[in-house]
Amino acid sequence: MSMATATVQPVEREDYLNKHYGVGSWLLTTDHKRIALLYLISITFFFFVGGFFALLMRLELLTPAGDLVQADTYNKLFSMHGMVMVFFFLIPSIPAVLGNFLVPMMIGAKDLAFPKINLLSWYLYIIGGVMMTHCILTGGVDTGWTFYTPFSTAFSNSKVIEAGLAIFINGFSSILTGLNFVVTIHRMRAPGMTWSRLPLFIWAHYATSIIQILGTPVVAITLVLVVAERALHLGIFDPKLGGDPLLFQHLFWFYSHPAVYIMILPSMGVVTEVIACFSRKRIFGYHFVAMSSVAIAVFGFLVWAHHMFVAGISVYAALVFSLLSYSVAVPSAVKVFNWTATLYKGSIHYDAPMLYAFGFLGLFTIGGLTGLFLAALGVDVHVTDTYFVIAHFHYIMVGGALMGYLGGLHFWWPKISGRLYPEGWARLAALIVFIGFNLTFFPQFVLGYLGMPRRYYDYSHMPEFQVLNVLSTAGSTILGIGYLLPMIYFLWSMRYGKPAPDNPWNAAGLEWQTQSPPTTFNFVEEPVVTWEAYNYDEIDAGHKQEAPVVG
């Protein structure tokens, strides 16, 4: 796919990267693309922090005895792995990096609606991140990322308050990003960019933003209550003082279940773009894919108590929530079938982003289907709080969300950096990640059904679990290499990579009609959209789109 290479210009053009220089020009920028890069750097840091904790945990579990770290250390490792990965990597990952970079460009806008609020989001993220880092460095927190009361409020001897406040502040970063996206998508679309011409990446981010706006405040106030309870012993969540610990779980999961969709929906958006581009086709069932994103966002709010089937809720509530849980499975299935159907009679290329998309399809299918096991009441009783759950949500949140994130990063890297990444290495990395991931997490399904509870650091009384744990640990090292590779070659490409043409994939979408990297306001003239999304037939037939190409 190198039809567009002829448009590379030898002279250095002004773009968003070289227009201004100096630290100040970055820290005070309101350019959505620069803010996206700020996020990229900060979330990458937290990704490797969280990944380091994960590797230590896997090493500890290599042998049944608790020999590598102490019990308390291990408890802090999994707690901080969860908090860092969920709140400081996965939730901001695609929206704050790729979404920030692409949402305005894809709809033909010069910037997000509120550029200063966008910058504020990043600063809130950084304040939360610094607090979290400080918390980690000065002793950490051992409540699990779920902060279950009364353990977190009355028993834990770790820095619960600081961690809670870090996540509280970080939550507002997420809310403001979602707010910015919704307003931008509603108000800033270029002329002719109707709702049914929007790229499905935009639809996915729109749905994600709904969750961020309506869900995040609930977990924020819940964490305020936890902090207040811990500091002042109010009794709201403490059964010793008349409170109900299950209320905490209700409020926590009201956000934290939909939060899974904050992670996976944008990834679905990425995969949709990639599959359309590399099979040179319009997406099969555009409207169904778009609506299923919104359906997932809305239905996602109806199912939270399926995390609590054995927690002591009423059996009737359990029935209701189990039934509702399946409502969210249907639109997910619809998406998978539509992606598959898009491949049919396509002209499929195997570039690295597409390999990640294939990986996403496989892992998300397995992750989604094992969700059915957990929604089925009778089976959930046995597998909840075991490694089965761990495996399931890693298939969704790492197999799904992270695969999509990496795929998207490869796909848009030429646009972001103006350089091409090394294709061969990228394909190798995609393969390594896929193999390493399955080796790490598939054995955990078996472990879970055998009954190994999560958050155990010592299983010396259950040596029969060792073989599967060894497999998992072996996989995790492969996975670690798979994640390290892209970071290395992306950094390499920034200096040594070939200059990227404006549209290296010959892809549809307004973002590809800007120069690579784009100028500060993306377009010289406001584009007027006269074509449908994913008009690959017209592109491949040689019709030029009439959007202004900058340069």
Partner 1 sequence: MFNNFPLWPDRASSTAGNVDALFIFLIIVSGMMTLLVFTAVIYFAARFRHRKGVLAEQIEGSIPLELTWTIIPLGVFMVIFLWGAVVYFNSRTPPRDSTEVYVVAKQWMWKLEHAEGQREINELHVPVGRDVKLIMTSQDVIHSFFIPAFRMKQDVLPGRYTVAWFHATKPGVYHLFCAEYCGTQHSGMIGDIVVMEPSQYEAWMSGSPSGPLSATGEKIFAELGCVTCHRTDTQGRGPNLQGMFGKPVQLQDGRTITADENYVRESILDPGAKVVNGFKPVMPTFQGIVSEEQLNALVAYVKSLAPAGQTGGQTANPATIAPGLNPAPVTTHGSSKGSPKGTKVQ
Partner 2 sequence: MAAHAESHNPALLHHFATEEQQRNSASFGMWIFLATEVMFFGGLFCAYLIYRRLYFGDFAAASKSIDALLGGTNTAVLICSSLTVVLAVWAAATARRTLLLSSLVVTMLLGCVFLGIKAKEYKDKFDEHHVPGATFSFEHEQVPNAPEGVYANPRHAEIFFALYFIMTGLHALHMIIGLGIFAWLLIMAWRGRFTPEYHTPIEIGGLYWHFVDIVWIYLFPLLYLIDRHA
Partner 3 sequence: MSDHAKSSPLKMYFTIWGALLVGTFLTYEAAKVDLGVFNAAVALIIATTKALLVALFFMHLKGAGEKLLKLVVVSTIFFLILLLGLSMVDYSTRYFPGHLWS
Q: What is the binding site for partner 2 (CB under 8 A)?
A: 109-115, 117, 175, 179-180, 182-183, 186-188, 191, 213-218, 220-222, 224-225, 228, 232-236, 241-244, 247, 250-251, 254, 521, 525-526
Q: How far is the CB of 307 from partner 2 (least distance, A)?
A: 17
Place of tokens 């089925």: 376
Residue closer to partner 1, measured from CB, 158 or 177: 158
Question: How far is Cα 259 from Cα 210, in angstroms, rounded to an integer?
Answer: 11
> Which candidate, 402, 420, 395, places its Cα nearest to that of 271?
402
Interacting span for partner 1 (CB under 8 A) from 13-21, 146-154, 175-183, 197-205: 146-154
Residue from 27, 130, 231, 319 touching partner 1 (CB under 8 A): that is: 319
Site for partner 1 in 321-350 (CB under 8 A): 322-323, 326, 329-330, 333-334, 336-338, 340-341, 343-350
Residues engaged in binding partner 3 (CB under 8 A)? 186, 214, 218, 246-247, 250-251, 254, 301-302, 304-305, 313-317, 320-321
Q: Which residue has the tokens 């950096």?
A: 417
Task: Pick the closer one to partner 1 by CB: 471 or 485.
Answer: 471
Residue 499, φ and ψ in degrees, nearest 5? -60, 140
Shortest distance in whole angstroms from residue 97 CB to partner 2: 20
Stretch that binds partner 1, among 311-319, 395-403, 476-484, 488-496 (CB under 8 A): 311-319
What are the residues whose beta carbons fall under 8 Å from the beta carbon of 438, sequence distance 6 or more? 363, 475
> Min. distance of Cβ 327 from partner 1 in angstroms?
9
Q: How far is the CB of 208 from partner 1 (least distance, A)?
A: 22
Give the CA count within 13 Å in the CB-facing half-sphere of 154: 13
The C-alpha atoms of residue 510 and residue 518 are separated, in whole angstroms, by 11
Q: How far apart are CA 521 and CA 32, in angstroms?
A: 9
Q: What whole-number distance in Å separates Cα of residue 14 and Cα of residue 516?
A: 10
Nearer to partner 2, 117 or 494 (CB): 117
Strand partners, 386: 453
- Rounded CA gap, 197 and 530, in Å? 9
Q: List the x/- string, 75-104, binding to partner 1 by CB under 8 A.
A: x-----------------------------
Amino acid letter, residue 448: G
**Which does residue 309 bind out of partner 3, partner 2, partner 1, none, counting CB within 5 to 8 angstroms by kind?**
partner 1
Residues forming a β-bridge with 415: none
Hey, is 382 helix, strand or coil? Answer: helix
The only residue of 109, 536, 547, 550 in contact with partner 1, by rule CB under 8 A: 536
Q: Tell the smallest beta-carbon distance from residue 514 to partner 1 (Å).
A: 25
Please state, in angstroms and rounded to a whole number, the distance separating the CA atoms of residues 72 and 550: 57
CB 257 within 8 A of CB 321: no
Residue 473 interacts with partner 1 (CB under 8 A): yes or no: no
Residue 31 in the binding site for partner 1 (CB under 8 A): no
Nearest CB to partner 3, comparing residues 215 and 497 = 215
